[in-house]
A and B are shown apart, each in its own frame.
Chain A
């Protein structure tokens, strides 16, 4: 295993009240070489905490972590790893070239390869024209791009990205997607967490749904493909009979403030519509543009919360 996390748990204690806050509980995960794994979850689910434990910034209360066969506390475990923290912040008075040069040299990259690699990445991240500017003058999106370059400059075998799309415009987001797909093509391994479910769905070989510190579901790409023939019916309200039928037939049902969404397989569409008619609920729309990961994500969160 390139990356293995076994039964880790982490509890934080607040400074003044000494109250214990559970961040991660019994989290296990194994990632093979060349695999792209995405973690999705609501805010405060513990995604970043898992990545920080993996990088050795914090220690789990219990459980084991192995990064490229080494303990995260061993600096050599990070030699072939690239990491992008959430909302990265770099040295204000350095320019992008200096920052990336530091990243490359600190990672043990041979000095003669550094310049060409920096130029290549800055071009890819469209930061070439700003490469001599101090980082304090960069926008949030530019910092994010510089952070991605910082993580990738030494051509690592494993890439760990915490919210890589954060603060990026659609072009920037596409760039990140392309970069990750390129990593996959070159047999690199990536673990990242993101809130942009459509991209996670598109890029990842497997996706983990994390809620309240636990990894609730791990979805294979095939799990998501199986649900691509689903249809979504949006109605104005929920009735007890509708809820019972959904539970019985394993259809997903989500109640939101203004409407109720029912997701069911395409072959159950007529049955579902008949039921809606019988229950006299108003059908607002019917479509098959279902974001399957989104549905699973929402369902998992709801289940965990209840």
Chain B
């Protein structure tokens, strides 16, 4: 990678990793995982499913909180506090600036996911050692695959944060649009499938159908990254599926960064 872009990614990462918000999010996720050690014992069957579900959910929750608070904040602070003047006084093109920030945010998500996965692994291992009888169907690989899929979703969401930071002038709007994208992205596939199944019974206007169709293609389909249920059942994911969602993440992020770059290159930094 270009040394210039890398240097920006590194300071974005350092700025984020030293932020106290991250420690708060980490502690919260740890609490949930710790809780799973206690709560799991209350269930009389399928303990492995409960443990895996709670732990992967905690990783997702921690990662999402990090994106909604830290990633949004790291982008908007540059614009609000005018740090961007100092950064762009260096020979960065606006596109390089966005790419540098994006890689910094992705590095931050990667660090958070690694840390949470480590703790999560220890938690699952502890429960597994305590109740080995319930963990016969348990597969470590399926857990790590599910975590990897969550990380791919974080990559997409970081690109979404970058995009909305360039089109809005307020961090609140960036946050609002990112959360909306997440919610729509998680549900869009279900909505489309429901409409397709119930099509003859529901009379939708052409306009509504068009909106749904556009939404389906514009908003990222984030439900493809939700592999918690499969991991909880000890079902590994095929390599081709993992490869396809990896490609989907990378292509979607690249396209959205391209649009962000077009918008940002025209933006006046007053």
Contacts and interface: CB of A to CB of B under 8 A. Distances in A.
A98 B10 CA distance: 10
B197 interface: no
A78 B86 contact: no
B7 A91 contact: no
Nearest to B270: A58
Contact of A78 (B11, B14, B83, B91): B91
B136 interface: no
B15 interface: yes
Interface string A18-54: 0000000000000000000000000000000000100
Contacts of B3: 105, 108
Contact of A89 (B10, B82, B90, B96): B82
Nearest to A82: B89
A71 to B, nearest CB: 12
Given A75-B96, A93-B19, A94-B14, A103 B90 contact: yes
Given A76-B91, A88-B86, A93 B18 contact: yes
Contacts of B96: 75
Interface in B57-109: 81-83, 85-93, 96
Contacts of A99: 11
Q: Chain A interface mostly helix, strand, loop or mixed?
A: mixed
Given A58-B268, A75-B96, A93-B18, A85 B85 contact: yes
A82 B89 CA distance: 7
B91 A102 contact: no
A66 interface: no
Given A58-B270, A78-B91, A108-B91, A94 B86 contact: no
Nearest to A55: B89
Nearest to A154: B90
B24 to A, nearest CB: 15
B88 A56 contact: yes
A171 interface: no
Contacts of A94: 11, 14-15
6 A-B pairs with the lowest CB-CB distances in the bound complex, closest first: A83-B89, A93-B18, A106-B90, A85-B85, A57-B269, A89-B81
Interface of A: 12, 52, 55-59, 75-79, 81-83, 85, 87-94, 98-99, 101-103, 105-108, 134, 147, 150-151, 160
